[in-house]
Structure 1
Amino acid sequence: MDLLTANDRPGEYPGSYHASIARQLPPFPKAEGTMRADVCIIGAGYTGLSAALHLRQRGYDVVVLEAQRVGFGASGRNGGHVTAGQRIEQDDLEAMMGKETAHKLWDIGNQAVDLVRTLSRDPAVETDFHDGIIHADHRARHVAHGHAYARKLQEEYGYDLIRPLDRDEMRHMVGSPAYHGGTLDMGSGHIDPLQFALGLARMAVSAGARIFEASKVTHIEEGEPARVRTESAEVTADHVILGCNGYLGGLNAHVAARVMPINNFVATTEPMSPEEQESLIRDNHAVSDSKFVVNYFRFSDDHRLIFGGGESYGYRFPSDIRAKVMKPMLEIYPQLKGAKLSHAWGGTLAITMNRMPHFARLAGNILSFSGYSGHGLALGTLAGQIAAETVAGQAERFDVMASVPTPRFPGGATLRSPLLVLAMLWYSMRDKL
């Protein structure tokens, strides 16, 4: 199944709230004929666009090949959360990698948030960065661990931007009976995801990057230089960067065996009053909860609740996405019964077995960055910067990220789909217990 077209029309953004308000870019041309570049980037999401921008700032000639539209995939459809650190907790990273590397990974995760915050200040990015993510525990037994973890970050990592929330303060901050406590992380935040992606594209083009849309890559021929082919073009390049994430398809078997696409779903309400917004989430923070099939939500700048949730048991989007998102939304906010949803859409992200990103050198001059497991807004953007410095011969951060092992999924790419069904059924049941 080609996930580029399985649920979407070629050359069109989904019917998302983000797409409805964005100042979209005119279509870029389709790649035709033969081209030469220092670097060919495959995918115009956060990773590809950030790589293009940072490579151009270093003086490299860059071609970006996008199968659909700029920001078409998860980069333009996600919930907009920009989260500090890595996808898994530092305790687990210390056990996996040792304390020294775990500290480096923590620093890299925070550099990712800093980069998004810095880039968002450019006039080309027509949206604001808002500080604060509340991590909400849906089980009372999770609260002690969350508070201890906040203390660990404060004491061992010098991170003083996080603090615990008890049950009463959580109820004050999030107007829901579903949560028993949690933490508030002011080093994290949220932003309009598509506006941010389009801003990166504007910055990259202004810096001199050449972007082509409707240009699906069909083959990469390894070599020095490498050759990247689409249906109608061939790009010869000294370096190749893969930034495909959930839309890689069969382009590289090594990555496909370790990075699995999954779908997630998001909906928005009609605009609320500022008072209604404050009754649901105080101080314009974002919220994500402790479920494995996570619920994540925040408000838009025009006071719409943007709610993501609902597990997926296959790669086709459900016929009624509104109903799929409304179910978990009403579990969190029963007071919204009867509320109308103005937009609902699905998207494809990518996960790894251990939920850590997969950074890989597939050949001496071919790099791949994917598997962000829900942290792609921050880590995907930073991956582009890391890609640029790696091409330039400064691979320290790349080597730290690439040192994290990425296990193959059982059965590799062949069994990912049935494995996805079983896994999501299991974790959905676990969340309900």
Structure 2
Amino acid sequence: MALETTPLNRYPDSYYAASAADRLRERPTLQGALDADVCVVGAGFAGLYTALRLAEAGKKVVMLEAARVGWGASGRNGGQAILGFSCDMPPIEAQLGRDEAMEIWKLVRGAALEIRQRIAQHQIDCDWRDGHLWTAVLPRRVKLLTDWQEEASQHWGYSGLQLIDKPQLRDWVDSPRYQAALYDPEAGHLHPLKYVLGLTAAAERLGVSIYEQSAAISHQSQGDRVVITTAQGSVRCDTLVLAANVYLGDFDRDRSRRILPVGTFMVATEPLGERGAKLVPSGACVTDNQFVLDYFRLSQDGRLLFGGGCTYLGGMPRDIKAAMRPALEKVFPQLKGVQLDYGWGGLIDCTLRRTPDFGRRGNVYWAQGFSGHGVIPTCVAGRVLAEAILGDDTQLKRFEKLSNPPFPGGRLLAGPMEAAGKFFYRMRDLF
């Protein structure tokens, strides 16, 4: 395994960066002292959604990004906008009760709609397509699909899910691996880096100042304000928003102790033409319901974008293409030997219970813990944090009731302990 080596001043060598190359431009490094209403640390989805809402309300917002806009998970992910959180809804309901959990579910569905609205409003060319298929590999796990369809309809008021049984499945995804699937029309998929760059442009048009190569080093209170220091400058503000997730590090150790960096990987095939269209005739994005899942979709230019695998030990395979090929060919044996043009990886920010970690301490707010399931939940986070900063903390109070304890064992042991747990569940899937 190799640690990530991508320099902070350029994007990783992914399909996304290559296909959005004409849209990439550098932004200035912060020099000197600035004053703002709000400073957001981290220019990914969560930070941008928060900044957009605050700017729309007339706030003066400064964003600090240690690398490039969308350099982390926001610009590298699977691009799948799936309803819900990584933990699903039952753990949230168990902690909050049905009524408050229902309000959070409404936020999720509202965020799925908001993404479509922002794409239209800001004319973001990001290859959006509707639809998600949740598939079962094991016969015994078909029940997870039917249970969720029934629960969504009867318990959460969502009747849009369509069950697809084995005889019909080849019309949706042409793989012998799956037993059944559940289709969600309110979900969808997009080119994440193009989308994050579109949100960035929208934020800048509203007056948000974004500084790249400007890592936030420390912060301290000055009266009722906060001062954030970078290598060559500082920002003095009324409110600080932490949206750096797994890259927060020592800037706020208490928050960092609640998340574990987990590596995950993707590949992109050569353009497949008609052969690609036959793989996923529905055009939907696809995930399975194994504990260590595979996920994939077709790109606009006909490539299969295939992801999966993970490591809790902070590293990446030295040859991502070789590491991912067996899983891809297991799902699609008809692609045996296909050329893989791109392979890349990145880190996701997992909480111990996979529940989202949104909160505040004085005038410092944060959103993290998306646990590999962030395209829609980051949009939820932006609304929740912005509303609280603007004076309505109703939704934030709900999320603050979710328990997200630090990982046991600290930084040294958390990864190996999670890896051991993952091995157990992987064996359970297999046997």
Q: When the two structures are superposed, what TM-score results if normalisation uses the length of structure 1?
A: 0.95
Aligned to 1:285: 284
- Contact 1:108 1:397 (C-alpha < 8 Å) held by counterparts: no
Aligned to 1:234: 234
- Mapping of residues 14-413 of structure 1, within 5 Å: 14-22=12-20, 23-223=22-222, 224-273=224-273, 275-361=274-360, 363-413=361-411
Tell me: CA distance 1:6–1:332, structure 2 relative to 1, closer, same or farther (3 Å): closer
Q: Distance in 1 between matches of 2:430 and 2:221?
A: 47
- Contact 2:242 2:365 (C-alpha < 8 Å) held by counterparts: yes
Q: Distance in 1 between matches of 2:411 and 2:108?
A: 28
- Contact 2:246 2:256 (C-alpha < 8 Å) held by counterparts: no
Report deviation, 1:343. Answer: 0.8
Q: Distance in 1 between matches of 2:53 and 2:109?
A: 18
- Contact 1:311 1:428 (C-alpha < 8 Å) held by counterparts: no
Runs of 4+ in structure 1 deviating by more than 4 angstroms, as ranges, are none
Report deviation, 1:323. Answer: 1.0
Q: Which runs of 5+ in 2 are unaligned?
A: none
Q: Kindly provide the CA deviation profile for residues 303-343 of structure 1, in whole angstroms up to 9, marking residues without a partner as x.
A: 11100012225222221010112121111111110100111
Report deviation, 1:125. Answer: 1.6
Report deviation, 1:414. Answer: 4.1
Q: Kindly provide the CA deviation profile for residues 77-130 of structure 1, in whole angstroms up to 9, marking residues without a partner as x.
A: 001000112323333433332211221121121122112111121345222321
- Contact 1:258 1:412 (C-alpha < 8 Å) held by counterparts: no
Report deviation, 1:148. Answer: 2.2
- The residue identity in structure 2 corresponding to 1:304 is R
Q: Distance in 2 between matches of 1:341 and 1:389?
A: 44
- The residue identity in structure 2 corresponding to 1:33 is G
Report deviation, 1:140. Answer: 0.5
Report deviation, 1:281. Answer: 1.0
Moved more, 162-171 or 8-17: 162-171
SS at structure 1 position matched to 2:290: coil
Q: Distance in 1 between matches of 2:326 and 2:158?
A: 36
Q: Kindly provide the CA deviation profile for residues 209-237 of structure 1, in whole angstroms up to 9, marking residues without a partner as x.
A: 00000011111113420111111111111
Q: Distance in 2 between matches of 1:69 and 1:334?
A: 38
- Contact 1:43 1:64 (C-alpha < 8 Å) held by counterparts: yes
Report deviation, 1:14. Answer: 0.5
Report deviation, 1:429. Answer: 2.7
- Contact 1:143 1:180 (C-alpha < 8 Å) held by counterparts: yes
- The residue identity in structure 2 corresponding to 1:17 is Y
SS at structure 2 position matched to 1:187: strand
Q: When the two structures are superposed, what TM-score results if normalisation uses the length of structure 2?
A: 0.95
- Contact 1:115 1:382 (C-alpha < 8 Å) held by counterparts: no
- The residue identity in structure 2 corresponding to 1:30 is T
Percentage of pairs with the same residue: 34
RMSD over aligned CA atoms reads 1.7
Q: Kindly provide the CA deviation profile for residues 268-290 of structure 1, in whole angstroms up to 9, marking residues without a partner as x.
A: 111112x3233211221000001
SS at structure 1 position matched to 2:12: coil
Q: Distance in 2 between matches of 1:349 and 1:89?
A: 17
SS at structure 2 position matched to 1:121: helix
Q: Distance in 2 between matches of 1:271 and 1:106?
A: 37
Report deviation, 1:416. Answer: 2.4
2:420 equivalent among 419, 422, 428:
422
Give the aligned length: 428
- The residue identity in structure 2 corresponding to 1:21 is S
SS at structure 2 position matched to 1:252: helix
- The residue identity in structure 2 corresponding to 1:16 is S
Report deviation, 1:167. Answer: 1.7
Q: Distance in 2 between matches of 1:144 and 1:137?
A: 9
SS at structure 2 position matched to 1:127: coil
Report deviation, 1:399. Answer: 1.7
Q: Distance in 2 between matches of 1:345 and 1:128?
A: 20
- Contact 1:39 1:237 (C-alpha < 8 Å) held by counterparts: yes
SS at structure 2 position matched to 1:372: coil
- Contact 1:256 1:412 (C-alpha < 8 Å) held by counterparts: no
Report deviation, 1:255. Answer: 1.4
- The residue identity in structure 1 corresponding to 2:136 is D
SS at structure 2 position matched to 1:250: helix
Report deviation, 1:418. Answer: 2.4
Report deviation, 1:425. Answer: 2.9
Q: Distance in 1 between matches of 2:123 and 2:243?
A: 22
Q: Distance in 1 between matches of 2:238 and 2:177?
A: 53
